[in-house]
Amino acid sequence: MTERRRTALHREDTVLSIGPSSLAWEDDAVTIRFDEVTAPLPRRVRGTVRLYPSALTGASFALDADGRHIWRPLAPRARVEVTLDDPACRWRGAGYFDMNAGAEPLERAFCSWDWSRAHLPRDTLIFYDVARRVGEPHHLALRIRPDGGVEPIAPPPRTPLPPTGWRMARTARGQADDAPRVLRTLEDTPFYSRSQLAGRLEGEPAEIVHESLSLDRLRSPIVRAMLPFRMPRVLG
Protein backbone atom coordinates (compact mmCIF):
# COMPACT_ATOMS: atom_id res chain seq x y z
CA MET A 1 0.00 0.00 0.00
CA THR A 2 1.16 3.50 -0.85
CA GLU A 3 -0.34 6.82 0.17
CA ARG A 4 -0.89 9.01 -2.91
CA ARG A 5 -2.54 12.28 -3.84
CA ARG A 6 -6.14 12.31 -5.01
CA THR A 7 -4.98 12.85 -8.60
CA ALA A 8 -3.69 9.23 -8.53
CA LEU A 9 -7.24 7.94 -7.94
CA HIS A 10 -9.43 6.88 -10.88
CA ARG A 11 -12.79 5.16 -10.48
CA GLU A 12 -15.23 3.66 -12.97
CA ASP A 13 -18.24 1.37 -12.56
CA THR A 14 -16.17 -1.80 -12.25
CA VAL A 15 -12.60 -0.53 -11.78
CA LEU A 16 -10.75 1.31 -9.03
CA SER A 17 -7.18 2.43 -9.79
CA ILE A 18 -4.72 4.07 -7.39
CA GLY A 19 -1.42 4.84 -9.06
CA PRO A 20 -0.08 1.72 -10.81
CA SER A 21 -2.36 -0.65 -8.85
CA SER A 22 -6.01 -1.49 -9.51
CA LEU A 23 -9.01 -3.54 -8.43
CA ALA A 24 -11.64 -4.62 -10.97
CA TRP A 25 -14.53 -7.00 -11.49
CA GLU A 26 -13.61 -9.25 -14.42
CA ASP A 27 -16.16 -11.93 -15.36
CA ASP A 28 -16.73 -13.91 -12.15
CA ALA A 29 -13.69 -12.70 -10.21
CA VAL A 30 -12.34 -9.67 -8.38
CA THR A 31 -8.91 -9.05 -9.91
CA ILE A 32 -6.31 -7.02 -8.03
CA ARG A 33 -3.17 -5.97 -9.85
CA PHE A 34 -0.48 -4.26 -7.81
CA ASP A 35 2.93 -2.78 -8.50
CA GLU A 36 4.31 -1.18 -5.35
CA VAL A 37 7.52 -0.63 -3.41
CA THR A 38 7.93 -1.75 0.20
CA ALA A 39 9.09 0.34 3.15
CA PRO A 40 11.31 0.97 5.04
CA LEU A 41 13.59 -1.19 2.86
CA PRO A 42 12.62 -0.48 -0.76
CA ARG A 43 11.76 -3.61 -2.73
CA ARG A 44 9.40 -4.09 -5.66
CA VAL A 45 6.22 -6.09 -4.96
CA ARG A 46 4.29 -6.87 -8.15
CA GLY A 47 1.63 -9.41 -8.98
CA THR A 48 -2.04 -10.36 -9.26
CA VAL A 49 -4.69 -11.60 -6.85
CA ARG A 50 -7.88 -13.17 -8.19
CA LEU A 51 -10.79 -13.74 -5.84
CA TYR A 52 -13.66 -16.01 -6.91
CA PRO A 53 -16.65 -15.55 -4.56
CA SER A 54 -18.57 -18.64 -3.50
CA ALA A 55 -21.54 -16.37 -2.77
CA LEU A 56 -22.23 -12.63 -2.75
CA THR A 57 -24.31 -10.76 -0.19
CA GLY A 58 -26.13 -7.48 -0.52
CA ALA A 59 -26.25 -6.91 3.23
CA SER A 60 -24.82 -3.75 4.78
CA PHE A 61 -24.49 -2.70 8.42
CA ALA A 62 -23.99 0.65 10.14
CA LEU A 63 -21.18 0.48 12.69
CA ASP A 64 -22.01 3.81 14.35
CA ALA A 65 -25.29 5.20 15.63
CA ASP A 66 -25.53 7.91 12.94
CA GLY A 67 -24.91 5.66 9.94
CA ARG A 68 -21.73 7.47 8.90
CA HIS A 69 -19.71 4.24 8.76
CA ILE A 70 -21.02 1.30 6.74
CA TRP A 71 -19.59 -2.21 6.54
CA ARG A 72 -20.49 -4.74 3.84
CA PRO A 73 -19.38 -8.40 3.87
CA LEU A 74 -19.53 -8.66 0.07
CA ALA A 75 -18.00 -12.13 -0.39
CA PRO A 76 -17.75 -13.84 3.00
CA ARG A 77 -16.27 -16.94 1.41
CA ALA A 78 -14.15 -17.18 -1.70
CA ARG A 79 -11.38 -19.00 -3.52
CA VAL A 80 -8.24 -16.92 -3.91
CA GLU A 81 -5.33 -17.32 -6.32
CA VAL A 82 -2.17 -15.24 -5.81
CA THR A 83 0.57 -14.91 -8.41
CA LEU A 84 3.58 -12.73 -7.64
CA ASP A 85 6.03 -11.77 -10.36
CA ASP A 86 8.39 -10.01 -7.98
CA PRO A 87 9.26 -11.82 -5.76
CA ALA A 88 8.38 -14.91 -7.81
CA CYS A 89 5.91 -17.11 -5.91
CA ARG A 90 2.29 -18.24 -6.00
CA TRP A 91 -0.32 -19.89 -3.81
CA ARG A 92 -4.07 -20.43 -3.50
CA GLY A 93 -6.51 -20.86 -0.65
CA ALA A 94 -9.69 -19.66 1.05
CA GLY A 95 -10.41 -15.95 1.28
CA TYR A 96 -12.89 -13.18 2.00
CA PHE A 97 -13.79 -9.77 0.61
CA ASP A 98 -15.52 -6.95 2.49
CA MET A 99 -15.78 -3.17 2.29
CA ASN A 100 -15.89 -0.26 4.71
CA ALA A 101 -17.16 3.17 3.67
CA GLY A 102 -17.27 6.23 5.88
CA ALA A 103 -17.98 9.94 5.90
CA GLU A 104 -15.18 10.68 8.39
CA PRO A 105 -11.93 9.10 9.62
CA LEU A 106 -12.45 5.88 11.60
CA GLU A 107 -10.60 7.21 14.63
CA ARG A 108 -13.14 10.01 14.99
CA ALA A 109 -15.99 7.55 15.62
CA PHE A 110 -14.38 4.51 17.24
CA CYS A 111 -11.91 3.64 19.99
CA SER A 112 -11.23 0.08 18.85
CA TRP A 113 -12.72 -3.08 17.40
CA ASP A 114 -12.21 -6.84 17.25
CA TRP A 115 -13.41 -8.73 14.18
CA SER A 116 -13.25 -12.39 13.21
CA ARG A 117 -14.37 -14.66 10.39
CA ALA A 118 -14.77 -18.41 10.86
CA HIS A 119 -15.22 -20.93 8.07
CA LEU A 120 -17.34 -23.88 9.18
CA PRO A 121 -17.90 -26.90 6.93
CA ARG A 122 -21.04 -25.27 5.50
CA ASP A 123 -21.56 -21.72 6.80
CA THR A 124 -19.39 -18.70 7.56
CA LEU A 125 -19.65 -16.91 10.91
CA ILE A 126 -18.58 -13.28 11.40
CA PHE A 127 -18.27 -11.45 14.73
CA TYR A 128 -17.72 -7.69 14.97
CA ASP A 129 -17.27 -5.97 18.33
CA VAL A 130 -16.95 -2.19 18.07
CA ALA A 131 -16.11 0.27 20.87
CA ARG A 132 -17.68 3.59 19.90
CA ARG A 133 -16.48 6.97 21.13
CA VAL A 134 -20.07 7.97 21.84
CA GLY A 135 -22.70 5.57 23.12
CA GLU A 136 -22.72 1.89 23.95
CA PRO A 137 -20.46 -0.71 22.31
CA HIS A 138 -21.87 -2.28 19.15
CA HIS A 139 -21.86 -6.02 18.43
CA LEU A 140 -22.63 -8.03 15.31
CA ALA A 141 -22.86 -11.82 15.17
CA LEU A 142 -23.82 -13.18 11.73
CA ARG A 143 -24.25 -16.48 9.97
CA ILE A 144 -23.79 -16.35 6.19
CA ARG A 145 -25.10 -19.36 4.29
CA PRO A 146 -23.67 -20.77 1.05
CA ASP A 147 -26.39 -18.99 -0.96
CA GLY A 148 -25.36 -15.61 0.48
CA GLY A 149 -28.22 -15.33 2.96
CA VAL A 150 -27.35 -13.47 6.16
CA GLU A 151 -28.97 -14.00 9.55
CA PRO A 152 -28.13 -12.77 13.08
CA ILE A 153 -27.14 -15.36 15.68
CA ALA A 154 -26.52 -15.36 19.42
CA PRO A 155 -22.87 -14.41 19.92
CA PRO A 156 -20.61 -16.82 21.82
CA PRO A 157 -18.61 -15.42 24.75
CA ARG A 158 -15.55 -13.21 24.28
CA THR A 159 -12.18 -14.60 25.32
CA PRO A 160 -9.03 -12.54 25.94
CA LEU A 161 -6.15 -13.45 23.66
CA PRO A 162 -2.48 -12.95 24.55
CA PRO A 163 -1.38 -9.37 23.81
CA THR A 164 0.57 -8.78 20.64
CA GLY A 165 4.28 -8.04 20.44
CA TRP A 166 3.33 -4.35 20.61
CA ARG A 167 1.30 -5.17 23.77
CA MET A 168 -2.04 -4.44 22.16
CA ALA A 169 -5.03 -6.07 23.84
CA ARG A 170 -7.29 -8.33 21.74
CA THR A 171 -10.30 -10.60 22.29
CA ALA A 172 -12.10 -13.20 20.19
CA ARG A 173 -15.44 -14.98 20.34
CA GLY A 174 -15.73 -18.75 20.63
CA GLN A 175 -17.08 -21.65 22.65
CA ALA A 176 -16.38 -21.41 26.35
CA ASP A 177 -15.26 -25.06 26.51
CA ASP A 178 -12.81 -24.67 23.59
CA ALA A 179 -11.83 -21.01 23.51
CA PRO A 180 -10.02 -19.61 20.47
CA ARG A 181 -6.24 -19.80 20.63
CA VAL A 182 -3.63 -18.02 18.54
CA LEU A 183 -1.82 -20.20 16.01
CA ARG A 184 0.05 -17.38 14.25
CA THR A 185 0.10 -13.61 14.38
CA LEU A 186 0.31 -12.66 10.72
CA GLU A 187 0.61 -8.90 11.15
CA ASP A 188 1.70 -7.07 14.28
CA THR A 189 1.85 -3.26 14.30
CA PRO A 190 1.44 -0.64 17.06
CA PHE A 191 -2.28 -0.25 16.28
CA TYR A 192 -3.35 -3.30 14.23
CA SER A 193 -2.96 -7.07 14.36
CA ARG A 194 -4.17 -9.92 12.17
CA SER A 195 -3.97 -13.48 13.41
CA GLN A 196 -4.83 -17.07 12.59
CA LEU A 197 -6.83 -18.72 15.37
CA ALA A 198 -8.16 -22.20 16.07
CA GLY A 199 -11.18 -23.17 18.13
CA ARG A 200 -14.71 -24.52 17.97
CA LEU A 201 -17.94 -22.78 17.05
CA GLU A 202 -21.36 -24.40 17.19
CA GLY A 203 -19.66 -27.69 18.00
CA GLU A 204 -17.55 -27.62 14.83
CA PRO A 205 -13.79 -27.12 14.48
CA ALA A 206 -13.28 -23.66 12.99
CA GLU A 207 -10.56 -21.95 10.96
CA ILE A 208 -10.63 -18.38 12.25
CA VAL A 209 -9.08 -15.19 10.88
CA HIS A 210 -9.04 -12.44 13.49
CA GLU A 211 -8.13 -8.76 13.56
CA SER A 212 -7.84 -6.15 16.29
CA LEU A 213 -7.67 -2.43 15.60
CA SER A 214 -6.88 0.27 18.16
CA LEU A 215 -7.98 3.67 16.86
CA ASP A 216 -6.81 5.26 20.12
CA ARG A 217 -3.29 4.15 19.26
CA LEU A 218 -3.68 5.28 15.65
CA ARG A 219 -4.49 8.79 16.90
CA SER A 220 -1.23 8.97 18.82
CA PRO A 221 1.26 11.48 17.35
CA ILE A 222 4.03 8.93 17.88
CA VAL A 223 2.23 6.29 15.82
CA ARG A 224 1.37 8.89 13.17
CA ALA A 225 5.05 9.71 12.84
CA MET A 226 5.84 6.00 12.40
CA LEU A 227 3.38 5.39 9.55
CA PRO A 228 5.59 6.60 6.65
CA PHE A 229 8.23 4.05 7.62
CA ARG A 230 5.76 1.23 6.83
CA MET A 231 3.57 2.87 4.18
CA PRO A 232 5.38 4.88 1.48
CA ARG A 233 4.03 8.29 0.51
CA VAL A 234 4.21 9.54 -3.07
CA LEU A 235 3.81 13.29 -3.40
CA GLY A 236 3.77 13.48 -7.19
CA distances from 14 to 10, 167, 176 (A): 11, 40, 43
Decide if 96 is inside a domain: yes
Q: Is the pLDDT of residue 1 over 70?
A: yes
What is the predicted pLDDT for the residue at 151?
A: 96
182-200: average pLDDT? 96
Q: 189: alpha, beta or left, given left = phi > 0 and alpha = psi -120 to 50?
A: beta
First-to-last alpha carbon distance for the chain, in angstroms, is: 16
| Mean pLDDT along residues 124-131 | 98
* Percentage of the residues of the chain whose pLDDT score is greater than 90: 90
| CB neighbour list of residue 147: distance below 8 Å, 6 or more residues apart | 55
pLDDT for residue 81 is more than 90: yes
Whole-model pTM?
Answer: 0.93
Q: Is residue 6 part of a domain?
A: no
- Over the stretch 6-20, which tens digit does the pLDDT of each residue have? 999 999 999 999 999
Q: What is the mean pLDDT of residues 58-84?
A: 96
User: Given pLDDT bands bounded at 50, 70 and 90, which one contains residue 135?
Assistant: very high
Residue at 98 is within a domain: yes
Structure confidence at residue 232 (pLDDT) = 87
Q: Percent of the chain beyond pLDDT 70?
A: 100
Confidence of residue 186 (pLDDT cuts 50, 70, 90): very high
If you count them, how many residues does the chain have? 236
Residue 41 lies in a domain: yes
Higher pLDDT, 227 or 210: 210
pLDDT value for 236? 56
Number of independent structural domains in the chain:
1
Q: Span 190-204, mean pLDDT?
A: 95
| Sign of CA pseudo-dihedral 180, 185, 186, 189 | positive
153: Cα separation from own chain's centroid: 21
**Is residue 112 included in any domain, yes or no?**
yes
Which range marks the domain in which residue 87 is found?
11-229
